[in-house]
Amino acid sequence: MIDIKFLRENPELVKQNIKNKFQDNKLPLVDEVIELDRARRENLQEVESLRAASNKASKQIGALMGQGKREEAEAVKKEVAASKDKIKELTVKEKEIDDEITKRMMLIPQIIDPSVPIGKDDSENVEIERFGEPVVPEFEIPYHTEIMESFGGIDMDAAGRVAGNGFYYLIGDIARLHSAVLSYARDFMIDRGFTYVIPPYMIRSSVVNGVMSFAEMDSMMYKIEGEDLFLIGTSEHSMIGRFVDQIIPEEQLPITMTSYSPCFRKEKGAHGIEERGVYRIHQFEKQEMIVVCKPEESMEWYNKMWKNTVDFFRSLDIPVRTLECCSGDLADLKVKSCDVEAWSPRQQKYFEVGSCSNLGDAQARRLKIRVQGDNKERYLAHTLNNTCVAPPRMLIAFLENHLQADGSVTIPEALRPYMGGKEILIPNK
């Protein structure tokens, strides 16, 4: 959510930003907010005028009574009572106007960074850089669930009977590999100076509205029936929610955290064959990174964060590339975002395994996360988030890139301590 003062003073810039995001249907919102804001300020002005007149009249009542002018005093009393009734009426109107303004402001997208490429959707995202040499082996690579099945490592049929489509059982070495990757990611981020956190896995609607757009909420979140609680789609939600309505001393910034959580997503819509198996599922686990910092430091942290993900995947000998998300692919709260994609030897292309986002002051404005500087002035913090790793999707890249011709899977040196020293996994089927 942008600053209403900024919108009031720069309506054409806000409209151009909406056009750059190919959301022309939202253009009328700008003029509607400006008109509502004018009405609110007029309403406030009238309330202040009535209060001043009422206060002045209240003082006259005592003087008139002292002079024995009871009838005149009673008349003034009626005027004061009428003013108070009018003030109550205008106060209700002010709340109604505020609600209408907020409703529209929540739909107007954040101003994107000037460096963001203009494009309609993810097909126009721009490749930034590649890391590692993508390899296509001479032997055929099976579909990822077939590789897992060769180790007796997955049972999606039983999961379907228990929970429905989009769930899985991971078993044996594959389950151990899943946990090993998360444990390694945890220590990897701790070694980079991030504080490890395990957050709540449910959040209230007030936090949901503070961390994401309505469209995202509808497509992602599971609601707990009969409760004001939602299952988190990513730990970023509850991690940022930790600071709701807080004033953070400036000397405590930056706050750098890495969080583990299960994640739950509806994943609405039909998906292609390559997004079946464990690629797009309703339940997964993730190691996330979150930063709360000064506005002038957010772009520096943005670059550090996506590089952390690249370094993590390269430490496991998985080639990756980074993609700059174009304007039309950015969620409404994001200022700038990039995806990290891993190489798939089977598909002979890259696929998304993580996303890094700078949200500027959007979440902080909604959740009232403020910073107090040395001069006692308060300002909104900037918030950022990034995926370090999210298995089991990451396992697809891992198994494909480390699969050998005989069906075995090699374990990179960095991961061996988390796999009991194993250097190779041998299929049992």
Give every CB contact of residue 314 below 8 A, 6+ residues apart in sequence.
Answer: 131, 132, 320
SS3 annotation, the chain: CCCHHHHHHCHHHHHHHHHHCCCHHHHHHHHHHHHHHHHHHHHHHHHHHHHHHHHHHHHHHHHHHHCCCHHHHHHHHHHHHHHHHHHHHHHHHHHHHHHHHHHHHCCCCCCCCCCCCCCCCHHHCEEEEEECCCCCCCCCCCCHHHHHHHCCCEEHHHHHHHHCCCCCEECHHHHHHHHHHHHHHHHHHHHCCCEEECCCCEECHHHHHHHCCHHHHHHHCEECCCCCCEECCCHHHHHHHCCCCCEEEHHHCCEEEEEEEEEECCCCCCCCHHHCCCCCCCEEEEEEEEEEECHHHHHHHHHHHHHHHHHHHHHCCCCEEEEECCHHHCCCCCCEEEEEEEEECCCCEEEEEEEEEECCCHHHHHHCCEEECCCCCEEECEEEEEEEECCCHHHHHHHHHHECCCCCEECCHHHHHHHCCCCEECCCC
Give every CB contact of residue 10 below 8 A, 6+ residues apart in sequence.
Answer: none
- 122-425 in CATH: which number? 3.30.930.10
Q: Residue ranges of the chain with pLDDT lower than 70?
A: 59, 61-64, 66, 74, 214, 268-276
Q: Rounded distance, CA 7 to CA 13, Å?
A: 8
Beta bridge partners of 340: 322, 354
Q: Rounded distance, CA 395 to CA 161, Å?
A: 23
Q: What angle do CA 318, 280, 351 make, to 5 degrees?
A: 35
Give Cα 316 distance to the centre of its chain: 27
Domain spans in the chain, listed from the N-terminal domain onward: 4-105, 122-425
Tell whether domain 4-105 is in CATH 1.10.287.40: yes
- Residue 77: per-residue pLDDT: 76
Q: Rounded distance, CA 5 to CA 13, Å?
A: 13
Give every CB contact of residue 77 below 8 A, 6+ residues apart in sequence.
Answer: 61
- Residue 273: per-residue pLDDT: 47
